[in-house]
Amino acid sequence: MLNTFWNIFVIVLTLASIAGCWWLLQWTKGISNREGEETGTTGHVWDEDLVELNNPLPRWWLYLFHLTIVFSLVYFVLYPSLGNLGGTLGWTQEGQYAEEMAAAGEAQQDIFSRFAGATPQALVADAEAMGIGRRLFGNNCAMCHGSDGAGGPGFPDLTDKDWLYGGDHQSIVTTLENGRNGMMPALGDALGEQGVREVTAFVMSLSANGQDEALVNAGSQKYGMFCAACHGPDAGGNQALGAPRLSDDIWLYGGSEEIIAQTLVQGRAGLMPAFSESLSAEQIRILAAYVQSLSQP
C-alpha cells in the first residue's frame, strides 16, 4: 500500500500522462495544416527550395492512438492501476498467486496420493517416483551434495554405502525431516601439538600403511582416551552421533595428514538443514527412496 502522498502522486501522474497523449494528438492535428497553405510545411527550408512537408497523420493511424487511450481508461476501471484503487474486477496479484498455488497443490495431491501406501522398495522401482525424486534432489539438495549426490569436502557422498547416520529408509527420513548437526569437538588444546601429531598418525594407520610406529603407538593410547567414546573403540564410528568410521578410507573432510590434524585442532560442525517445513511428508519419503537408490547398483 502506498502512503497518501505517493498514492495521489501516482494517480495524478498516470492520468496526466494519458491526458498528455490526448493533447499531443490534438496539437499535431492543429499544426499539420498551416493557414493559407495547401499542404502544410514545418517551415524548415534547405538549399532554398527543399521544404519539409507536414502532412496530417493517416486517419487509421490517429484512430489507433485514440484507441490506446480508450483502452487504458477502460483498463484503469477494471484493473488496479491508479495508486491504491483496486479495479472493479477485484483482480489482485496475490489472488492470482494463491489460485495458481492451490491448483498446483491439487495437481500434486493427485500425483502423490498414488505413492501414499508404497513401500520404499516399491518407490525405488517406480520410474515416475524416481523422476520426481531426481527433480526434488536437483532443486533442494544438489547445491550441497552435488547433482549426482557424490558430495564434496564436508558434504557426505550419498552414493556410497558408508553412512554417518544410517542408510535405512527411516534413518534417511529422520535426517531429512530434522536435519543433522555433527559435532566434532576442537581437541587441539587437550592433545597438544605432539598429541595431534600422534593421533593423526594413528588415524592414518587405520586405513594406510607407512606411519611412524612410535607415533602410532602413542596415538593409539590417546585415541582410547579422547576419541573412542564417540568414534568407537575399533574406530567403527557411531551413527547415533554421526561420528564417522575412521578405518575405511572414506573421508568426509579428507584423509591427508594436514586435514586430519586440522579436524582435530579446530573441530568440525557439519550442518544438514531440516526439510520438514519446506517439503511434504510424501516428498520426503520419495526423496529418501531416491537417496537409497543412489547407492544401489
Minimal distance in Å, beta carbon 211 to ligand HEC? 14
Contact by Cβ (8 Å): 188, 200? no
Say whether residue 176 binds ligand HEC (CB under 6 A).
yes
Q: How many CB atoms neighbour CB 35 within 10 A?
A: 5
Instruction: Specify the stretch interacting with ligand HEC by CB under 6 A; choose among 18-26, 43-51, 120-128, 252-260.
Output: 252-260
Our finding on whether 199 is near ligand HEC (CB under 6 A) is yes
281 touches ligand HEC (CB under 6 A): no
Q: Which of 215, 242, 285, 293 binds ligand HEC (CB under 6 A)?
A: 242
Q: Which is closer to ligand HEC, CB of 80 or CB of 273? A: 273
175 binds ligand HEC (CB under 6 A): yes
**Binding ligand HEC by CB under 6 A: which of 115, 263, 285, 286?**
263
Rounded CA separation 241/266 (Å)? 18
Q: Which stretch binds ligand HEC (CB under 6 A): 29-37, 39-47, 89-97, 160-168?
A: 160-168
Query: Is the CB of 112 or the CB of 165 nearer to ligand HEC?
Result: 165
For ligand HEC, the closer CB: 218 or 287? 287
> What is the rounded CA–CA span in Å between residue 28 and residue 134?
62
Out of 86, 95, 131, 185, the only residue in the binding site for ligand HEC (CB under 6 A) is 185
CB of 277 to ligand HEC, least distance (A): 12
**Considering only CA atoms, which of 107, 149, 146 is closest in space to residue 130?**
149
Widest CA span in the chain: 115
Nearest-angstrom CA–CA distance, 115 and 98: 26
Count residues binding ligand HEC (CB under 6 A): 49
Alpha-carbon Rg for the chain in angstroms: 36
Who contacts 197 (Cβ-Cβ below 8 Å, separation ≥6)? 215, 261
C-alpha cell at 44: 524548415
Q: Taking CB under 6 A as the rule, does residue 247 contact ligand HEC?
A: no
Per-residue binder mask for ligand HEC (CB under 6 A), 104-143, x = binder = ------------------------------------xx-x
Which of 186, 172, 182, 159 lies closest to 243 in space, CA to CA?
182
**Min dist. Cβ of residue 88 to ligand HEC (A):** 45
Contact status: 275 vs ligand HEC (CB under 6 A): yes
Candidate residues 264, 285, 289, 293; the one interacting with ligand HEC per rule CB under 6 A: 264
Residues 6+ apart with CB under 8 A from 99: none
Q: How far apart are CA 222 and CA 191, in angstroms?
A: 8
Q: Which residue type sits at 37?
A: E
Q: Is 231 in the site for ligand HEC (CB under 6 A)?
A: yes
- Contact present, 133 and 154 (Cβ < 8 Å): no
Q: Cα separations (Å) of 86 from 7, 18, 82, 90? A: 12, 19, 8, 7
Site membership for ligand HEC, residue 216 (CB under 6 A): no
Query: Which residues are near ligand HEC by CB under 6 A?
Result: 140-141, 143-145, 154-156, 158, 163-165, 172, 175-176, 180, 182-185, 187, 199, 203, 226-227, 229-231, 241-244, 246, 251-254, 260, 263-264, 268-273, 275, 287, 291
